[in-house]
């Protein structure tokens, strides 16, 4: 990053990632931001009814009235340089609050914090989480290169090294950068972190990729599909449990798939509510182009071991030179994409898992094979149900799942569903390349 140019004041932005999965906020001079002074900035309730197409849902429960605050979390400030940017990216993850500082009913970050607090209070467990993102670099002046190839990676040079450096400087702990299977598709993984920090880091990652790409003269997109026939961009949420002393609690070698009893109940809770959850974790019309059989994404309520079509995948444990498999053991939630904000997506996943723990649900059977290729009766016996095949179906599943709807206040639910219905209207009926392109430009 270049030196701060003369006559520029560094800006710090208080950000929130909303129901549309878009990071918005307001900025002030960094010199005016004093941590621990509870300085907040104004926010507007109807902002949460903003569709990705920049029109506010009509009707919406908020109208032109009301005022809120963006209250920064001083422990979640990310200030770092991005190559090619004139000034540092300086953002503070913020909660949306009422004027007295209490959490606003629609705040996604507060929703996640409460879900994590409930999990900890009821079970003593915390979650270690890592968001894995796929994205595509669009409009770059390159020749095509083979999937996973070194040349596919080297074409981007020095994008990869600069991205790794920016995320390292941000404290986001980048791990692996991959040229992926799809055309001009890449993936970047982060080290596991405390669940709230992991969701915050997912925001940092998305914005860093976008900004660095802009600086290179490209556009990067995390949209679930950038073309109908193209490969999908997933957001895979890896999770594991930790006990009060940080000890791993997801692994139990004596159980099927080595998933502990608590892990099995957690997974069962997620699978039970998965049709409704997709309305929140795969929340755009184009998300359903991705959630199809044979897309390596997820399309059934399927718990599987090391199978990339399973909705909940038990990930492999690398035993080379390692002694304790429990530490690295994790499960991956795959029916998520970047049109969902990470806080809300993780929040509903945790809530659903917690329901499973409360009810001590039996672990779901592990399935291997192709659910699309077996008779319906067999699928039923294995608990394999097709996930919603459109956003409309997913929103209906959400409305019908009274457990999931009970996690939201009535007005938060009205805001979410109203915004999504408006988004569907603005997107139109045609799930075509033109619509994918519109989403690619936004996400």
Please give the residue ranges that form the binding site for Mg ion (CB under 5 A). 187
Coil, helix or strand at residue 175:
strand
Contacts of 268 (CB under 8 A, 6+ apart): 356, 361, 362, 363, 364
Instruction: Please count the residues of this chain forming the interface with ligand GLU, following the rule CB under 6 A.
Output: 9
| 3-state SS, residue 190 | strand
Q: Measured from the CB of residue 215, what is the shortest distance to Mg ion in angstroms?
A: 24
Closest CB 37 distance from ligand GLU, rounded Å: 42
Among 26, 214, 219, 308, binds ligand GLU (CB under 6 A): 308
Site for ligand GLU in 95-134 (CB under 6 A): 134
Q: 130-169 mask for ligand GLU (x: CB under 6 A)? A: ----x-----------------------------------
Q: Which is nearer to ligand GLU, 308 or 386 (CB)?
A: 308
x-or-dash string of contact with ligand GLU, 287-306, rule CB under 6 A: ---x-----xx---------
Q: At what angle do helices 159-170 and 195-216 cross, to 10 degrees?
A: 140
Label residue 39 exposed, middle or buried (CB < 10 Å: 0-12, 13-18, 19+): middle
Between residues 187 and 207, which has the closer beta carbon with respect to Mg ion?
Answer: 187
Between residues 308 and 438, which has the closer beta carbon with respect to ligand GLU? 308
Minimum distance from CB of 294 to ligand GLU (Å)? Answer: 11
What are the distances in angstroms from CA 363 to CA 27, 267, 298?
47, 7, 19
Candidate residues 21, 45, 72, 232; the one interacting with ligand GLU per rule CB under 6 A: 232
Smallest distance, ligand GLU to C-beta of residue 161, A: 22
Whether residue 290 contacts residue 225, with contact meaning beta carbons closer than 8 Å, is answered with: yes
Beta carbons of 268 and 358 less than 8 angstroms apart = no
Alpha helix stretches (DSSP H) within 125-170:
150-154, 159-170
Q: Is 177 in the site for ligand GLU (CB under 6 A)?
A: no
The rounded distance, in Å, linking the Cα atoms of 389 and 287 is 9
* Residues 332-391, interacting with ligand GLU (CB under 6 A): 334
Let me know: does 152 contact 142? Beta carbons within 8 Å: no
CB-closest chain residue to Mg ion: 187
Q: How far is the CB of 180 from Mg ion (least distance, A)?
A: 5
Is the separation of the CB atoms in 201 and 190 below 8 Å?
Answer: yes
The residue ranges that bind ligand GLU (CB under 6 A) are 134, 231-232, 234, 290, 296-297, 308, 334
């Amino acid at each position: 990053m270049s030196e701060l140019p003369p006559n520029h004041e560094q800006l710090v932005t208080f950000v929130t990632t909303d129901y549309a999965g878009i990071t918005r906020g307001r900025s002030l001079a960094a010199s005016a931001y004093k941590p621990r002074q509870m300085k907040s900035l104004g926010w507007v309730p109807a902002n949460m009814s903003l569709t990705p197409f920049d029109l506010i849902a009509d009707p919406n429960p908020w109208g032109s009235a009301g005022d809120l605050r963006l209250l920064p979390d001083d422990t979640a400030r990310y200030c770092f340089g991005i190559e090619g940017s004139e000034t540092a990216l300086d953002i503070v993850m913020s909660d949306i609050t009422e004027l007295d500082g209490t959490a606003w009913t629609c705040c996604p970050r507060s929703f996640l914090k409460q879900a994590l607090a409930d999990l900890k209070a009821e079970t003593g467990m915390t979650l270690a989480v890592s968001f894995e993102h796929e994205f595509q670099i669009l409009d770059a002046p390159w020749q095509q290169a083979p999937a996973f190839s070194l040349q596919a990676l080297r074409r981007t040079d020095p994008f990869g090294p600069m991205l790794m450096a920016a995320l390292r400087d941000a404290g986001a702990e980048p791990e692996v950068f991959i040229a992926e299977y799809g055309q001009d598709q890449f993936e970047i993984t982060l080290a596991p972190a405390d669940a709230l920090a992991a969701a915050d880091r997912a925001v940092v990652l998305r914005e860093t990729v976008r900004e660095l790409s802009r600086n290179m003269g490209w556009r990067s997109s995390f949209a679930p599909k950038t073309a109908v026939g193209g490969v999908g961009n997933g957001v895979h949420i890896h999770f594991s449990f930790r006990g009060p002393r940080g000890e791993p609690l997801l692994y139990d070698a004596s159980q099927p798939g080595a998933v502990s009893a608590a892990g099995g109940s957690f997974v069962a809770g997620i699978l039970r509510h998965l049709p409704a959850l997709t309305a929140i974790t795969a929340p755009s019309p184009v998300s359903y182009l991705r959630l199809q059989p044979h897309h390596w994404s997820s399309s059934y309520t399927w718990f599987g071991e090391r199978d990339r079509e399973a909705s909940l995948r038990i990930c492999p444990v690398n035993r080379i030179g390692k002694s304790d498999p429990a530490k690295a053991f994790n499960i991956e939630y795959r029916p998520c994409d970047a049109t969902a904000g990470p806080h809300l997506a993780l929040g509903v996943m945790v809530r659903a898992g917690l329901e499973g723990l409360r009810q001590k649900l039996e672990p779901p059977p592990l399935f291997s094979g192709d659910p699309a290729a077996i008779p319906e009766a067999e699928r039923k016996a294995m608990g394999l149900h097709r996930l919603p095949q459109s956003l409309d179906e997913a929103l209906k599943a959400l409305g019908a799942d009274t457990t999931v709807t009970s996690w939201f206040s009535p007005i938060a639910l009205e805001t979410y569903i109203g915004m999504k219905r408006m988004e569907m209207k603005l997107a139109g009926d045609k799930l075509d390349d033109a619509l994918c392109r519109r989403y690619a430009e936004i996400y």
